[in-house]
Amino acid sequence: MPTRDENHEMKLSQAIDALEPDQAQDVRTKIIDTSLYSVFLLSSSDSMNEACQVLLVEHVPAKEPKAFVLPLEIKTSATKTEILKKAAAVVELHFTEPHHAV
C-alpha cells in the first residue's frame, strides 16, 4: 500500500501527465506544496523577461487530481518572495471564483 507521500506524488504525476505535452515539459519548479494542492512555475518560451503561468494541481483526497494553468506576470529578476506572493494571489483568486467547487 502506498504511503501518504507516495500517493501525493502519484497524484501530482497523473495530473501533470494529463496536460498537453508542451505544457508538461515547461514545468520548472514546485513553489507551493500542501496536502490539497501544489503549484509549479511554468517557464515561458515566449519571453526572457516574464514567466507567464503557474500550474495548479488540486489533489483532494478521494477525488481525481485536476490541473489548471493559471496566468502569472512576473519578471525573471523577481525574488522568490515576490514570486511566491504573486502565485499565492493567483491561486487564491482561482479558489474564490464562483464556479469553483471543491
Domain ranges of the chain: 4-96
91 pLDDT band (50/70/90 cuts)?
Answer: very high
Percent of the chain scoring above 90 in pLDDT: 12
Which triple of cell numbers denotes residue 29? 519548479
Mean pLDDT of the chain: 77
Cα–Cα dist 54/28, whole Å: 10
Region 43-51: mean pLDDT is 55
| pLDDT of amino acid 101 | 59
Which triple of cell numbers denotes residue 47? 519571453
User: Is residue 43 scored above 60 in pLDDT?
Assistant: yes
Kindly tell me the burial class for residue 68, based on how many C-beta atoms sit within 10 Å of its own C-beta (0-12, 13-18, 19 or more): middle
